[in-house]
Every structure is written in structure tokens, then in C-alpha cells.
Structure 1
Amino acid sequence: MNPVFLACKNLKTCFSFYSFYLVSVAFVIPVLFAFTSFSENRIILEKMSSDGRVETMCRTISVFLMVFVVFYMAYSNRFFLRRRTRELGIYTLLGYQRSQILTLLTVENVLICLGAFFFGVTLGGLAHRGIVWFIGNLLRLGIDVSDIALFDGTALFKTAVFVLAVVFAMTLSNGRLLYQSSLIQLVRFEKRAEKTMKFHKVRAILGFTLILLGYLSALNVLGGNDSLWVRVGFYQMGLFTLFLVTSGTVLFISAFLPYVMEKSKHRRQTFYTAERIITTPNFVYRIRSNARTLTMLTLLSAAALTIVSVMALTLYYPIAAVSRIAPSEIEFRLESEEQLKIARDLAEQYTSDSPEVDILRTDLYSATSDSASLPLEYNLGTSQSGADNETIARDAGFECMSYTQYTKLLTAQGRSHVLASLPALSEEECILIKYQPEDPLQKEQGQTYQLQYPSGECHVTVKKVSLDNVISFANSIGTLVVNDRLYEEIRLGQSPCVSVVSMNGSSLKNQEGLYQALSDYLGGSPYLQGNSHRIQELLYLNSSTFLLIGFLVVLFFLAVGSILYFNNLSSIADSRADYEILEKIGYRKKQLRRIIRRQVFPFFAIPFLLGLLDCLFATMVYKAGLMQNLLGNSISQYLPTFVSLLLAALVYGSYYALTVRSCCRAVWKNASLRH
């Protein structure tokens, strides 16, 4: 029989067998095609980056993307080949030559990939348009989506060549297996598993100990300046922790989990039940025979979850921190009264239809102190060297603001929740505005500082330590909010003064034209800050990075979920005869369904839960070691991370439900089980 005709007949008669392979490949190709189309879209690349940064990132990400697609498709091909080796052995018995069988497999792969390609480029083209529309609107790039071709010729050619190359590589792999395997090996290959990994009590304890030490090492990053991450070095400790967690994960899966389950057999009351007596030995066998695959999936899951978590935190945290870095819609340092007049005129020009604009001038008067245990902010931003070639950016000292002006700015910025908890100040009290949260080992609330200014000195006690600054850090660090009387005394004492203009109001939000006009007038002053402008700038700089990494994350989850699906379906299908025996000895369909769920669940739970633990500790290290702590320890700043992990859990849950359903169908097929 013609191999091409036989391949077409196989696809037609056994479509359900090939359907998930087809669907899985058909959802990988859209990601590849959408990414390739995005990489070839000169319009959006030039608008997003004029220095070639995005193009360089595209080239880098494309390498990882293609490697991952090859790995995923190769695994899928090997899975289906393993499921069909007995059939291929029968073809050999019927007189088919190995070259004809290889042609049959190749034609099947070509037809499946061809169908997936047509579906993939259609879905990928639509996804590419959607991505361009989203980025164009998010960054206000002014791109007309109708000008974007649905099918980019270059992207289409590159994707087609890549898919053909993958099919060719799979053909070589299939040929190697066919020509190196004897007839009996082909028939029995489907029953082969990974080489069983022996375990001992020492290895089990070592695995648990290593992974625990890895997590404790990660927790040590919270120790501040006394932590090993500071004393030894961040990257050295990072590599050491990675080694502990990775090696611990390998031993934890291959030795510790089987050891615990073996020990559970001695607990007669819990082990000898109708279901656990079946599921526990099966779990131990599958863990030990598939340890390498499960370890790989756990590490892959940890990588995917960590990337998702870090991406969410990295995108959200700087935007949330803008409320401290630039709390006003527009703010600049005032050097002449003429600047204030021009600023008012420009504001009226750009917000003529909405006059709700608050323009406040704040005079900050400097005061020095020689008290012991001064806060970090007192010297922050100063140069400690007196060399002629170095410029002192800021004189050490406190910058005093009146209590009344502080409340006015809070009101103008719409921060009524801060006003509600604001304490009243006596003449000897102040509020210390911190740059970063207070060190728990160095309490600053209750500290007394001696303030020195040209006309005298006084002592003030810190009544409250706050992160609620109303002036940007570009214009004020080390701010003290003092009683109005004390402020007036310092003002009359001719202390050095810096004047800052703050402009707020709903009509100023996203007024990029006004910001640019002020920037041009002020000569690009570094003291010009803007809340909406800073957020827009962060979105512009980071959106391409997260978009490109997002392509990899999608593939990670597709691969992990699909491999778990294939692995569990293969194992359950191979054990169909065992379920028929269980049915004959009295197990009902409901019990068998519960057994299937319990057999499948650990193989989804282990990669997800261990990966989630790795992700949480890795995110904690990233947050504590590589990000400035401007927002304190509020749990709300981790909300995007929790949301992203919840979405990942939903993806795993969907794959789990689909796997259980498919496994049950594989067992019920050709069987009349009792309900």
C-alpha cells in the first residue's frame, strides 16, 4: 500500500488520536509566527526604539523561542512514536520496509504540521495585529492597524522554513530509532520507561536537606547588611542558592517522595483502603521511573512561574513607586518669578476647557544638625569628597516644610487617606519623610534632632516617620515637616531656600504636550518631574521587554501542560487492562474515576507546587536584592504577582481537568463499566 495513502487513511480513521498533537502544534506555531511578524514589523520597531534596542532583543529572544519550539515538537513526536511502535512492528511483520515506514511517519508529520501551519499563521496574524493595536494605544504611537498586513511575507517564509527544518529533524530522529531498533524492540518499546533511579534513605534525607537549605539561604537576603548576600556577595550567594535548590529538587523528587510514600505503606489504617492500595504503589513506580521527566518539568515550571512573577513585579512596582518619585502631575524648581508666570500661562493654554488646576509654591528652608544617629536622608545625595573635579549635588541637611503647606499639597494630590491619619504637631515636634522604610534595628520615631539655622537653633522630636512625601526626590530628600511657628522662625532666619512649584488637577493628567512645553522652556531641567509623564516613560521603556519575554512564557506553559498531558495519558492508557481487572473485582466507575484523579494529580501538583515555592523565594530575592524599597512592606505591592500566579494556576488547572477527562475516556473506551 502507498505510504502516502496509508498516512491519509490513518489521520482520517484515528483523528482523535492525532487531534491533541495537532492542536498542541497548532497553538505553538501562532506564538512563533506572531513573534516573527512582530520582529519584521519595521513600523512599530522604529516607533518603540530608535537605537536598535528592540531589534537586538528580538534576535536574542528568537534563539530561545526556536530552541524551545524544537524541544517541544521533538518531545511530542517522540511521545506519539512511542505510542505507535507496536503498530510499526506489525507493519514490519507485514513486509513493509523500514524506509516505507519512515516515509509513512514523515508524511503524517508533514500533514499534521501543514494543517497546524495554516491554522497557526491565521491565528498568529490576528494575534500580531492585536499586539500592535494594544501597544500602539498603550504607548500612543499613532499606528493605524489597518496598515499592518495580516500575513507578513518575510515572517511567513521564515516560519515555513523553520517548520520544514523541524520536520526534517524529526524525520532523522525517527529514522535513527527505526534503523537501530530490532523488531522485538519496536513491539516492546511502548512499554519502556526511563531507567529506574534507585533511592536510599541517605539520598532522601539529603534531598530534603538541600532544598530546605536553599530556601533558608534565600530567606537570609532579608537580613539587611548583616546577611550573607551582602557579606559574601549577591551573585556568589545567588549561584550557591541555585545549586542547593536545583540539586535538592532532583533528590527530593527521585528519592525523598518515593521514600515517604514507601514508609506510608506501614500505616495500615491509611494505606489499606480501596483506593490508596492502588494509587500509592503506582505513584512510587511512576515517580521512580519518570524522575528525570518530572524533575525537568519542575525546573521548567519554576522558571516559567518565576519569569511571570518577576515580570509582573518589575512592571508594576516602578509604576506604583512613581507616586513617591513624582507625586505631583507636574513639578519643577522655581528660579525666578517669570517661570511661575509662564507655567501658569502654559497651564491655561493646554487646559483651557478644564480650569481645575492647583498651582502651589513650596519654600523649603535648609537646617543642619550635629546630633548623633542622624537619618540616612540627612546625607543622601551628597558627595563626601572635596576634590575639585567632583560636584556636590546636595548639601547635607534637613529641608524644612510647614505643616500647613504639607496638608495643602496632600489635598491637591488627592491623598485624603494620608490626611486622615496625620497627627497635629507642637513646636517641638516634626514628621520625618523617609526615602526608604525605617530600619527596624534603628528606630527613628522618638529621636530628637538639634536643628541649626543662621538665626539660632532648636530641638525637635520625630513624632511620626512617614513615606508620604509630597515633593519629588529630585527636588527634596531629607524633608522635615515642622510646626508652622517653627517654620516661620527658620524662614525669618535667612536659611538657604529652595522653591518648588507643584501643579495638580485632573485636567493635567496625561498632558504630555504641557510637560514638553515646560521642558523646552526650562531647558530640559532635571528638576522637572511629572507623574503621568514618568508612568508613560516607564511603559514606553519596558513594554517591549515584557512583550518579548511574554512569548517565551506562553510557550513554557504550553510545553509543560502538554508534556504532563502526554505523559499521564500514556501511562493511564498503558494500564487500561489493570482497570478492567479492577472493574471485574468490584470497583465501580466512580471509584475508578477517583483513582485516575489521584494518579494524575501528583504529577501536576509536584511541578506546580515545587515550582511555586521556587518562584516565591526567587521573587523575594529579586525584590530584596535588586529593587529599591520605596513602598515599604505593604502586601498590596505584590498584588500583580499574586494575580499572575493565580492565572498560571488556572492554566495548570485547565490542563489537569483536560488530562483527567482524556484519561477517563481512554479507560472507558471499549469497556462497559458499572456506574
Structure 2
Amino acid sequence: MTLTSLVLRSMKKNVKHYYLYFFALIFSVTLCFSFVTIQYNPSVIEALEASGTATAGFESITYVLYFILIFFILYANQIFMKRRSKEIGLYQLIGMTKGFVFRLLLIENVVLFSLAAGIGMVLGFVASRFFAMILMKLMKNDAIVSLSFSMMAFSKSLIIFALLLAVVMIQIFIMIRKASLLSLFNAEKKADERVKKFSPFHMMMGIVGICLIAYGYYDSTRLFSVEGATTNNLLVNMLLILGSSILGTYLFFRYSVALIMNLIRKSKKGYLKITDVLGVTTIMHRMKGNASSLTLITVLTGLAVGIMTLSYISYYSSEADAKRLSPFDYILFDNKGIEFLNQLEAEGIEYEKTTFHLSMVNVKMSDLFNLDEKDAGYININQDAISPVVPLSDYKAINPEARLNDGETIITSYVDILSELLPLESGKKIRIHAGEKNYSLFIKDVREDEFFLSVLASASSPVLIVTDELFDEIQKNQNPEISTQIGINLVNEKDHEKAETLYKNLRERKIIEYDYQKTYKEYYDGNIALNGMTIFVTGFLGMAFLLTTGSILYFKQMGEAEDERESYTILRKIGFSNGELMRGIYVKQLFNFGMPLMIGLLHSYFAVKSGWWLFGSEMVTPMIIIILFYVSMYMVFGILSVFYYKKIVKEAL
């Protein structure tokens, strides 16, 4: 028999092991090649350049995708080589040398990789237009996207896939060279670790694992609080949270699950049903035996969900962030740019105008936050903050119900990152300084109204609303010309395009002097372009992580199903039905897929909750959407594994 015919027979025999691996490889190639092709699509490049969005992020994410692909293929190949260990041992038992076996596997993998790369590149090229259209949709760009083949993308992908094949063959070569004949016949029975009898030490470590995870969650809730985060210990706290979460996850799978299952089993006082035997007992031994891989899957799941959620929070909050930066469609200062209003009237464009008079005062930081130097951390409470002051009569334009007595103030427009770290409270007094005079004011209310261009309030200070009489007195003490901000909102949506053109022309002619006087639409379009690209590339990363973790779990379940085939045969012979066996398998699959997913989602939730406000203004909706997407995809892998088990159970007799 020739080597070629032996390769063909071997591949045909192992198709039941390789078919999902082959399709997963095709999907990986499709995902990567389509992403690389998008980078060189002329329509995408033009859209990114027009929006001012950097394209460097695409290339960096490509390398991350390649790393995920390499990791996934190496891990999957290790699992399948483990499944074929007896076959490799038989080859050597009948006289084949290790070199001959390696050549056989080399030809198999070259054929497999060549087919997968060829099919994946064709599918990736076709899918690249679909993904490019999604990117344009996310960026709200109406550009027409066409299929565009790039030799650069093709050559880069070929090099990566060739390197991947070389790395896989090195892995196989090392495995064959180091493995003895006896170890090959016993390789299938080996878990990630050797499992010993459960002992009091294991029980204690199980409790420690749960406590470490709980500590990581608790510490994450105070990571950015004034008491928990300073410039000196912020990095240390982040490392402690990361370390305790990862170590706690490992100990949870290694010991805590077994502890919980032991308690459940003891509560039944020896009366175990078939569901308990196939579910509880199997979970107890399998999970702690594969703790390393389950920890890795859980961490990758939490990382993927966290990254996707934060990027979606940014995208979801694009409108709110633009409104915070420019609360009106257009903003003018100190009557400069009145020509813009004249042009709007000449063009017949209807608008609403709101004018605010303002001055600046110094506010004692120690009064605002009630902190001592020990608790303040990175805030210097001894310095003064410069805050805008607005008369009550102007503020009533956006809040007609507002009322103030002498010596009272309303604090508003304090809604950025600093407001999350150091929230303000009403019901206390603050001191302000205007020129040579000091004033004491009682904070009547703290509101989130936004009506100033964000760059106006220095150092993210809040805006103080005071009585008209106090405002006039402050102006006399400051003795500058009264500053004004004119906020303009268009009445009709259809007029925005024409108004944008008029505004930009005046800014180019320096009639509107300040470059930072961007319009609401400019802020919004910039946010959508940047956040649209961000959520697109993180979505690709999320899909890659999902493919990796879901497939690895499924491959493991395939292996466990094959290992338990003889047990199912015995159970069927002594009278248990398919339905009774499947009920235990359902419980097992719920734990095998649900437990890593649940803990991964908890990790991501507490990680996102600790600092989501750095990325946007809404957390709940984006996180629910991402979690539902991830859960639904995990359910697909779980259902596939149940179908595989069902086939094994049916074949048991």
C-alpha cells in the first residue's frame, strides 16, 4: 500500500473526528481573510479617510485575529491528535517508524489546510462585501461597497496560513517524538490534570476559590471610587482583581464544583438516580480534571463579552455624548458669528435661539466634595475650581420651574467622568470668590441639565445657577464685559444640511473664530465613525473568541462522549432507556456549557460595571444585547453536543 492511499484511507476513517475541525478551520479562514480584504477595499478606505478615523486599528486587530486563530487551531489539533493516539500507536506497533508516521500526518494536514484555506478564502472574499456593508451601516455612511480583490490581502493571508501549518506540524512532530508506545494507547484517558480523591484540603481550596472570586468582584466595585483608587494603587488594585479572579476561577473548577457536587450527592444519602450518575458524578470528576482549559475558556469568554460590551456602550452613547459636547445644534459666543443668524434668516431657515449670560468664579474644592486629604487621593482639595456662573432668568429658558432665594444656588452640567468619581450632593454650603469678594451659597439642588459647550467649563467644573442680583454683583466685581453663549436649534430637520454648509463656510472665513466650536452634527458624525469602526473590529474579535471557546467545549464533549460509549452500552443492557440516559446528559451539558458561560458573564459584568461610564452614558441595554447574543451562540454549541451524545446513546446497543 502506497503512502498516498494510506493517507486517503486514514482521512476517510477519521472524517467523524475531522469534519467539525475542518468546518471550524474554514470559518476561521473566512473570518480572517474577509477582515484583511476589507482593509484594502477602496470604498472602506475612502470612508475612513473622509471621517478622519484612523485605519491603523484594522492592522493591529488583524494580528490579534491571527493569534486567536493560531491558538484555536493548535488547541483543537491537540484534542484530535489525542483522539487518534491509539491509531498512531498501532502504526508504530506494526513497524512504521516515527518519521513515516509524521510524513503521513504531514500529508493529511497539508491536504486539510489547503482545502480549508481555498474554500475559506473564496467564502471570505464573497463575505468581505457583506462585512464592509455592515461597517458602512454602523458608520452611517451611504457609500456603495463593491467586491474588491486585493493581492496584498491574498499574499499576507497565504503567509499566515503557511506559518500556521508549519507550527501545527512542529506540534505534531514534538508529540510523536516524545510519546512512548504505551503513552499513546493511554493518551485518551488523560485529563488536563490527575484527579485525586476529594479531601478536606480540597474542600478548603474550594471555599478559597469562591472567596477569591467574591473578593475580585467586591474590589472591582470600588476600583474607581475615591477610597479605592489613587494614582499610586490603581494599577495594583487592577492586578489584584485580575489575579484573584483568574486564580479563583481555576480553584472553582478544580475544587469548588466538586465540593458543591459532593454536598448534593451526600444530601441524597446514597439514593442516586441515573440522572445523578450521568450528571452530578460526571460533572464532579470531569470539571476538576479539566480545570485549566475551563479556566481559559471562562477568562476568554469574560474578556470577549467585556470588550464587545464596552465598545457597544460607546456606540450606543454616541448621540448622548455628542449632546454633552454640544447641547445645541450650533453655539455662538459673545455675539461673534451673528452673521450666521442673518444667513439662516436669509435662507428662510427657522430656528430657536437661547441666550445665556455667564461669568467665572473660583469655588473651593474642599466645599464641593467634603473630603480630607487622605480620602481625596488624586484630587487636590486645597485648590480652587473655576466654574461658570449663570443668572436664574437665563436658566429658566430650559428649566422654567427653577426657583432660588437669596444665598442659594443650583449646580448643574456636572455629568462627565469626574461626576462618577466624585458625585456632588445638595444641602450643604460652598464658598465662591469673585474678584476681591467672597460669597457663601447653599446648594439647593444638583441637576444634570446640559446647556454649555463642553470646552467652556474648565476642568469639568459644574455650572452654578445664582439669582440675577448676585450675578450682577459678581459681574461688577469681575469687571469684564459680560460673556454670552447663544444656543441655536433648527426647527426643521430638512434644513440641517444647508445650515451645516453655512456654518462651516463662516468658520473657514474666521468669522466664527474658534476651531473648537464644532456643531452637534460634527460631534455626532465623529462619534459614529469612530465608535462604528470600534464596534465592528471588536465584533470580529468577539466572533473569533466565541468560535474558539465554543468549539473547544464542543470538541471536548465529543471526546467525552466517545470515552463514555462503553458505559452507555452497559446501562442500555441493564434496562435503561434512551430517554433516561439523555436526561442525565442534558444536566451534564447544561453544566459543561452553562457554568463557564455564567462565570465568564459574571466576570465581564463586574469588569464593565467598574468603569463603564468611561465609555458612554448607558450600560444596561448594550450589556443585555451582547449577553443575549453570546448565550444564544453558546446554546447552538450546546445543542450540537446534545445531538452528538444522542447519536452515541442510540449506537450504544
Report 1:331-350 matches (<5 A): 331-336=331-336, 339-340=337-338, 342-347=339-344
Report 1:404-483 matches (<5 A): 405-406=394-395, 408=397, 410=398, 423-425=401-403, 428=406, 431-436=410-415, 444-447=425-428, 462-475=443-456, 478-481=462-465
Counterpart AA for 2:602: L
Question: Who is 2:592 aligned against?
Answer: 603
Question: Who is 2:377 aligned against?
Answer: none
Contact 2:277 2:584 in 1 (8 A): no
2: distance between equivalents of 1:54 and 1:89? 53
Q: CA deviation at 1:73?
A: 0.9
Contact 2:129 2:145 in 1 (8 A): yes
Question: Who is 2:28 aligned against?
Answer: 28
Are residues 126 and 284 of structure 1, via their aligned partners in 2, closer, same or farther at CA, if it must alter by over 3 Å? same
Contact 1:196 1:289 in 2 (8 A): yes
Q: CA deviation at 1:640?
A: 1.1
Stretches of structure 2 that go unaligned for 5 or more consecutive residues are 371-379
Counterpart AA for 2:508: D
Q: CA deviation at 1:519?
A: 2.6
CA deviations 1:54-79 (Å, max 9, x no partner) are 45434433333222211111122222
Q: CA deviation at 1:659?
A: 1.6
SS class of match (2:353) = strand
Q: CA deviation at 1:24?
A: 0.6
Question: Who is 2:210 aligned against?
Answer: 208
SS class of match (1:363) = strand
Question: Who is 2:643 aligned against?
Answer: 661
Q: Does 1:78 align with 2:60?
A: no
Contact 2:340 2:502 in 1 (8 A): no
Contact 1:333 1:527 in 2 (8 A): no
Aligned residue among 621, 625, 633 for 1:651: 633
Q: Does 1:499 align with 2:497?
A: no
Question: Who is 2:543 aligned against?
Answer: 554
Q: CA deviation at 1:424?
A: 4.6
Counterpart AA for 1:344: L
Q: CA deviation at 1:32?
A: 1.3
SS class of match (2:167) = helix
Q: CA deviation at 1:566?
A: 0.3
1: distance between equivalents of 2:81 and 2:387? 74
Are residues 503 and 559 of structure 1, via their aligned partners in 2, closer, same or farther at CA, if it must alter by over 3 Å? same
SS class of match (2:223) = helix
Report the more deviating stretch, 240-249 or 267-276: 267-276
2: distance between equivalents of 1:441 and 1:300? 33
Report the more deviating stretch, 90-99 or 254-263: 90-99
Give the TM-score normalised by the residue count of structure 1.
Answer: 0.81
Question: Who is 1:226 aligned against?
Answer: 227
1: distance between equivalents of 2:52 and 2:469? 56
Number of paired residues? 627
Question: Who is 1:174 aligned against?
Answer: 172
Aligned residue among 350, 353, 356 for 1:362: 356
Q: Does 1:248 align with 2:248?
A: yes
Are residues 398 and 92 of structure 1, via their aligned partners in 2, closer, same or farther at CA, if it must alter by over 3 Å? closer
Counterpart AA for 2:325: I
Contact 1:357 1:507 in 2 (8 A): no
Contact 2:369 2:424 in 1 (8 A): no
Contact 1:431 1:466 in 2 (8 A): yes
Stretches of structure 1 that go unaligned for 5 or more consecutive residues are 377-383, 385-391, 411-418
Q: CA deviation at 1:525?
A: 0.5
Counterpart AA for 1:423: E
Are residues 371 and 287 of structure 1, via their aligned partners in 2, closer, same or farther at CA, if it must alter by over 3 Å? closer
1: distance between equivalents of 2:292 and 2:585? 22
CA deviations 1:27-66 (Å, max 9, x no partner) are 1111211222234446644653599994543443333322
Counterpart AA for 1:464: D
2: distance between equivalents of 1:443 and 1:37? 50
Aligned residue among 549, 555, 572 for 1:566: 555
Contact 2:355 2:487 in 1 (8 A): yes
Counterpart AA for 1:667: V
Identity of aligned residues (%): 23
Question: Who is 2:508 aligned against?
Answer: 520
Give the TM-score normalised by the residue count of structure 2.
Answer: 0.84
CA deviations 1:610-642 (Å, max 9, x no partner) are 212221221123336xx28x95xxxx5432122
Are residues 395 and 156 of structure 1, via their aligned partners in 2, closer, same or farther at CA, if it must alter by over 3 Å? closer
Are residues 622 and 270 of structure 1, via their aligned partners in 2, closer, same or farther at CA, if it must alter by over 3 Å? farther
2: distance between equivalents of 1:158 and 1:440? 45
Aligned residue among 379, 382, 390 for 1:400: 390
Report 1:251-330 matches (<5 A): 251-268=251-268, 272-317=272-317, 319-330=319-330
SS class of match (2:189) = coil
1: distance between equivalents of 2:106 and 2:534? 38
Report the more deviating stretch, 476-485 or 599-608: 476-485
Counterpart AA for 1:362: F
